[in-house]
Amino acid sequence: MPEEKCLFCAIAANAVPAKKVYEDESAVAFLDINPRNPGHTIVIPKRHYGTLFEMPADDAGLFFQTVKNIASMVLKGTHAQGMNILQNNGLAAGQMVQHLHFHLIPRFQNEGPVSLEGMLQVKRMDEKTLDKISAAIKAGAGSPEPGEIEEPEPVVKKSFAPQKPKGGEQEAEEEFEEIDFE
């Protein structure tokens, strides 16, 4: 996507308004307009990279340090008990804006846990398939030739009920309600 049509480039250039929570010479962090929780923050590099794979390694290291620092700010500012730090690369992975970005999503004890298994189904693979994938990754091929590995079958797992925090759900809710996000 050309930079002139990129929403996040426009935010970085102050051409589109955003609720910025952090900005320096190379990165911007702002509240997501479709938050999954209060304090859901997007962190972007000011320079346009479509995915993480396009960013030079030195820049990626510095950028991730910025992401880590902002994540600490969000965690403290929202009084969250945890955080999901998410980053998608490409449409198949769910990347909706084709500009490298991280989602910092504060999580609260009264929500119940969302694990990786709750987002993606487990897929069973036999030893032969695992060996092929392992060899392809080690060789730097990324993936075997199309059709070489059979598509795994999803494993249907029972859903789980969120666990209540040990301190009591009411206590966690009260702490959450005291936060002034204005």
Sign, Cα dihedral of 121, 127, 130, 132: negative
Tens-digit pLDDT profile for residues 81-100: 999 999 999 999 999 999 99
Q: Which of 8-17, 23-32, 48-57, 164-173 has the lowest mean pLDDT?
A: 164-173
Say whether 19 sits in a helix, a strand or coil.
coil
> Higher pLDDT residue, 134 or 97?
97
> Which pLDDT belongs to residue 181?
44
CA distance 96 to 67: 19
Catalytic-residue membership of 99? no
Active-site pick, 48, 79, 101, 103: 101
CA distance 21 to 13: 15
Q: What is the pTM of this model?
A: 0.72
Look at domain 3-107 and name its CATH class. alpha beta
Binned at pLDDT 50, 70 and 90, residue 17 comes out as very high
For the record, the structure tokens of 117 come out as 């298994």
